[in-house]
Amino acid sequence: MVAEEGQGVKIARRVALEVLRRVEAEGAFVQLCLNHALDRAPRLTRQDRALATELVYGVLRWRRRLDWALKAYCHRPLERVEPTLLRLLRLGAYQLLMLDRVPEWAAVDEATETARIMRGRHAANFVNGVLRSLARGKASIDWPQDDSAASLAVRYSFPDWMVVEWLERFGQHKLVRLLDALNQPASRCIRANSLRITPAGLRELLAASAVEAREDEVVVGALRVDSGGEITSTAAHQTGMFHIQDGAAQAACLLLDPRPGERVLDACSAPGGKTATLAQLMKNQGEIYAADVHPARLSLVRELSERLGISIVKCFTQDLSDPVPAEWGKFDRILLDAPCSGLGVIRRHPETKWRVDPKDLSVMAGKQLKLLDSVSRVLKPGGFLVYSVCTFSRQECEQTIEKFLSTHGDFLISDPRRERSQPWHKLIDAGGMMRTWPDEHDLDGFFAVRLQKAPV
């Protein structure tokens, strides 16, 4: 039994190494890549799977901090270390510095043996020497202590440009809270399928599967899952009683406030969480056009709709930065959850830290503005359009809206607080724009604004 558990731990480390390779070398998304790798890995217990997950996310979250420690004990610049060996060093360093439950000898020996198998004896000696030196000297590492942007970037493991920009924008107190929150695992949030069950009923059903959940105080219909195993294996999930969706994304749908019988366009719909929430708010009455540029991802929208018993969704493979097909007609409401830099979901996608470049923000903003212009043309007079992005860069949020409004005089910001009061209105700022923060709300970082087209 002990030997089998030891083998599982070794497999978990090899899985983590391969996932890190794919994420860094091939640009794979960590969540999808890790899930695929774990499904294919043999003989992994729940604990082994948890270890592989911890290693992958931990190395990606703390890469900058790990590299600082490794530089003190590596006799060559890290940029000159062969990528496979650097990944092994980071995996070893994460276990040595941040995982108390992993024996030091096990972390060093496994990395050394893997280096020998993959790159030979010389590479194994190199990895062994660096990690053993780190294990001996980790208590005396000279971490940066001051509150400069450069020091904060190392301590919290973020690129310099992000910390410099956010320090100027948010101030030190807010910045430190935000960086810390973005390095934590994201909370689990689901939405009760109101076509089949109430939030209270879903809580009881989940409790029968040993899953504890509580209703969110701000986003009505959302439940936070506090404990329990894999929720997708529960009877409640299999029978379509809920779908997984962060509360911030749910709030963006509440902001659109679609009504039964209306025609709604979900402009960038995959993988379908917002489509499902919109359909439930519409009581499965009316029509939703779910469009996405990726056919494979659009199939996820169909599958989710079928599992939840939603029948009003029509799926279309369409790039809506191009003119919207005339035969689609006009819509009462439009949700444009636009592609963005993803800075607000770094908790879920820590690889974003190392992929996004400052120049990407203005490039994304240009694409978002093009999408806004395109879909706005098929909104009925008096209709509503919600623009949302899971980021908080000014270029993609306020500045994009300002540019759109400057060239579309028939649109105005529609503040939902002028209507009936709702708990989620706490997320609306003084300018009528919705903002959610990982550090303040334990939600993904979202920006959303509702625009109304002038009546004829």
Secondary structure (H, E, C), the chain: CHHHHHHHHHHHHHHHHHHHHHHHHHCCCHHHHHHHHHHHCCCCCHHHHHHHHHHHHHHHHCHHHHHHHHHCCCCCCHHHCCHHHHHHHHHHHHHHHHCCCCCHHHHHHHHHHHHHHHHCHHHHHHHHHHHHHHHHHHHHCCCCCCCCHHHHHHHCCCCHHHHHHHHHHHCHHHHHHHHHHHCCCCCEEEEECCCCCCHHHHHHHHHCCCCEEEECCCCCCEEEEEECCCHHHCHHHHCCCEEECCHHHHHHHHHHCCCCCCEEEECCCCCCHHHHHHHHHCCCCCEEEEEECCHHHHHHHHHHHHHHCCCCEEEEECCCCCCCCHHHCCEEEEEEECCCCCHHHCCCCCCHHHHCCHHHHHHHHHHHHHHHHHHHCCEEEEEEEEEEECCCCCCCCHHHHHHHHHHCCCEEECCHHHCCCCHHHHHECCCCCEEECHHHHCCCCEEEEEEEECCC
Catalytic site residue from 74, 340, 390, 397: 390
Name the nearest CA neighbour of 158 among 133, 183, 127, 141: 183
Residue type, 374: S
CB 88 within 8 Å of CB 17? yes
Phi and psi of 381, rounded to 5°? -55, 135
Residues paired with residue 291 on neighbouring β-strands, in sequence order: 316
* Interstrand relation of 222-227 and 188-192 (parallel, antiparallel or unpaired): antiparallel
Is residue 390 annotated as part of the catalytic site, yes or no? yes
By annotation, the residues acting in catalysis are 390
